[in-house]
A and B are shown apart, each in its own frame.
Chain A
Amino acid sequence: MQFSVIQRILGLMLVAFSFTTLPAMLVSLIYTDGELIALFHSFAITLITGLVLWLPVKNRRRELRPRDGFMIVVLFWTTLGIFGALPFILAHEPHLSLTNALFESISGLTTTGSTVLSGIDSLPKSILYYRQQLQWLGGMGIVVLALAIMPMLGIGGMQLYRAETPGPMKDTRLTPRITETAKALWYIYLTLTIACAIGYWVAGMNVFDAIAHSYATVSIGGFSTHDASLGFYTHNPSIEIVAIIFMILSGANFALHFTAWRRRNLAHYFADSEFKTYLVLLFVISAITCVYLYSQHIVTHLNQAVLHGIFQSVSIATTTGFTTRGYHTWPSFLPALLMFSSFVGACAGSTGGGMKTIRFLLMIKQGTREVVRMIHPNSVVTLKLDGKPLPDHVISAVWGFFSAYIATFSIILLLLMMTGLDQVSAFSATAAAINNLGPGLNSVAANYAGITDGAKWILIFAMLIGRLELLSLLVMFTPSFWRR
């Protein structure tokens, strides 16, 4: 472990992160909501801490190793999560406790979208803006993490994507690879955000809400500036349609966007089997939801049923977590179905959570192969993805990821129940946290204010572990990781 190099990078990240409070300060100035000082304080604290970390070791430029990579990835989310909580603690309104602020901040950065706040509509604009921006920044980090770092570290079969990372990536070293990927992807991310904001604005949101919601949409986060989430605009179906489109787009692999952009060719999307599976899954879940909603007379008008069905399915299945109607009040089959679909989640290399469609696809393929092997025990079947054969170690990595996911899920579920949550709430809270989805069911349907602090800490951990693709955090608990 090269601690000085890690410290240097962490310092740099904090310095960079501190500047992201500046837009929020600008918002505060525009709306004169009185949070300027609080924001400035958190800016200063973050900046100074960053500088203190960075300056003593600023010349330690050494090549990063995979182990340092794990460390930085984990520290990135935890440290920024902690410093991101500062405005929530310092502000007059909402003035949260440490646990709540941290929960809110981690939920934002991991693009989960679970909140402990209520009465969001009346919060100061700058804090609202800051929350949304936190998700947006988290989303940006995730794209880089998912496309540049995870494939390098080979987490859960993601080495598959090693070759597909966009940009001039023949270099296998970590640092230049990450910077190049970051540059290429930020343009796409930014373009999507701007397009989304314009879309919302044209559909009838005011400028502030349009920007704020575009942040949460493109990052697959799900924070809103209203208690009712997008249900605030329930009279305006075009807003839901814009949201659906951009949720689907942001749930796709950003490497695909990159290639399509560079080659100016949309056909590229449909040559990708993960993207196709993703669309098919969204379609199937939406169809079931719509039919059930209409046939059970939960929504009376057909077009309403279709719109809500699609919106809610896409929102949950991509792990965004926007809601229009209280979907948790639907008969329990639908919430359970949608909760399960959030386990599949969005595509790899997107800002979405869950286990990722590619892994789901590989598991289906491998599961079918096992059935074939039962019938023909001596058959040699090579698994292929888009015509390319998949090595066995990639498949075992995917399986390892899957079983670790299930095991972690079960343990967290039991721990939450230990804190006194009922089974349905615990199940949905765990699923919502580990899949970075957001809203749960039962007692955590509207917000997470009602659960104990212990439960919040467990969920903070669950959000982080889900976001870091599990294994990169779990690896830190093995003795060999620390062995020199």
Chain B
Amino acid sequence: MRYAAVSRILGIFLILHSFGLIPPLLISLDVGDGQYMDFIIPFCITLGIGSLIWLVFRKARHELRRREGFLIVAAFWLVLSAFSALPLMFGGHLDFVDAFFEATSAFTTTGSTVMSGLDHTAKSVRFYRSELQWLGGRGLIVLAVAVLPLLGVGGMQLVRAETPGPFKDEKLTPRIAHSAQHFWVIYIGLTLACIIGYVLSGMPLFDAVAHSFSTLSTGGFSTHDASIGYYHSLPIEIVTEIFMFLGAFNFSIHFLVFRRLNFGYYVRNPEILAFSLIVAASVLLVAVVLYFEQTYASFFTALRNSAFTTISVITSTGYTTENFSVWPVMIPAFLMFISFVGGCSGSTAGGMKVIRVMLLFKQGYRELLQLIHPAMVRPVKIAGRPISTAATMGIWGFFAWYVAVFVIAMLLLMLGGMDQVTAFSAVTTCINNMGPGLGKVAVNFQQIDDYQKIILSLCMLIGRLEVFTLLVLLSPGFWKN
């Protein structure tokens, strides 16, 4: 393991990350909410530590290998989450565990919160939370489009071939640098479009910027306790729906579409197609149940609320207009289940990713056919291309670990005295990076204790890093030379 090289990069990350504190600092100064010290101190700490690390290891310019890749990815999210917690400790008056939970939730674009009374919180702090999600989303795109396929996490090597651009290079650094440039342009472009959309549909500029940050990153932090429900505005809901939906698309497909100006790529991508079908079916199902259970008087209202909530849940954003945890019969549980599907691979969304779910289904069906034709030889195919056994095995392994982590985390929460529904929904929402839960965590996560918050923070990280990245670090083979 080349710790020096890893440390050097971590130092650079910290330095870069510290500049993320400047916009909220400016806002604080502009509004004059007196919170500017809460950003200056963390800025100095982060910058100082980052520079120190960088200075010590600046000579360690080694080419990175897979192992360092795993370590950097894990360290990136863990360390930056920890440092991001500082302003929340100072400015949001949270204790460390709460601040860490909030920062991890933001940085992993989950959107679970321990804060309430948001409408009275300082503007700069509110902006900071949304900005953190946006930064997390930005890191995530690179992670999801370039790093994870390269590391072959959970069968994601099958997406590798689809990554556009000059990515034949198998070395980590140039690949990541390239994809970063390409995809950030699109990310920023979409964010701008989203801001314009919000402003046009009547949101104040500050809210528009903050919300577009957490919409594109499918994060779900809002500047209001009532989330998007604060506005009671159909246009705003529709803008949100569109951009949540786009944020859950594979960014390499966005890239192709924008470079070649051909929207056909969306339609031709089997994953996006499947995703759209799942979303449409779920929205309809929820709307029909809501209507027949007479939760809403008109079918239109049912459809409006169902569309918003379902898209918000399946893209793992977690905005709410209505408190869906009190919706009738199985809808809350159903929404929790579909959040496992999540968005497309290579997006900012959480969950297991549509492509894996597609492959799980195809493989399951293949096994059934195999029972009827025991001698059959048949690879699983996506868009006519056969998927290698290594990739399919990777996906099975991913699924099993996902379920295993889910069960263990749920039991650990219950060991701390949580009831089953709350534990189930809390783990679901955190591991899928979604946001709101059911039961005691339907509105926010204030009521749970520190031990449970730490477990849930870990769940968010595990879910964000696609399980394997953290799991690898726990295996003894990883540390052997």
Contacts and interface: CB of A to CB of B under 8 A. Distances in A.
Interface of A: 66-67, 70, 153-155, 331-333, 336-337, 340, 363, 366-377, 392-393, 395-397, 399-404, 406-407, 410, 413-415, 417-418, 420, 423-424, 426-427, 471-472, 474-475, 478, 480-481
Interface in B113-157: 151-153
A366 B355 CA distance: 21
A403 B333 contact: no
B372 A396 contact: no
28 contacts: A66-B371, A67-B372, A333-B414, A333-B415, A336-B410, A337-B411, A363-B400, A367-B400, A370-B394, A370-B397, A370-B398, A372-B475, A373-B390, A375-B66, A375-B472, A375-B477, A377-B152, A399-B396, A400-B366, A403-B396, A404-B364, A404-B367, A417-B333, A420-B329, A471-B368, A472-B371, A474-B368, A478-B369
A474 B472 CA distance: 35
B401 A400 contact: no
Contacts of A414: 330, 333-334, 337
Contacts of B363: 396, 399-400, 403
Given A336-B410, A377-B66, A372 B477 contact: yes
A347 to B, nearest CB: 20
B468 interface: yes
Contacts of A424: 420-421
Contacts of B420: 332, 336, 423-424, 427
Contacts of A404: 364, 367
A383 to B, nearest CB: 10
Contacts of B364: 400, 403-404, 407
Nearest to B480: A375
A332 B419 contact: yes
Give the secondary structure class of B's interface: helix
Contacts of B151: 374
B389 interface: yes
A478 B365 contact: yes
Contact of A418 (B329, B373, B404, B472): B329
A480 B417 contact: no
Contact of B399 (A369, A403, A480): A403
B213 to A, nearest CB: 32
Contacts of B390: 373
B52 interface: no
Interface residues of B, number: 54
B16 to A, nearest CB: 27
Interface in B374-401: 374, 389-390, 392-394, 396-401
B66 A480 contact: no
B478 interface: yes
Interface in B400-435: 400-401, 403-404, 407, 410-411, 414-415, 417, 419-421, 423-424
B394 A423 contact: no
Contacts of B66: 374-375, 377
Contacts of A395: 393, 396
B397 A403 contact: no
Contacts of B415: 333
A475 B393 contact: no
A481 B365 CA distance: 12
Contacts of B421: 423-424
A460 to B, nearest CB: 19
B471 interface: yes
Contacts of A475: 368, 371-372
Contacts of B366: 400
A426 B336 CA distance: 15
B102 to A, nearest CB: 27
Contacts of A423: 333, 420-421, 424
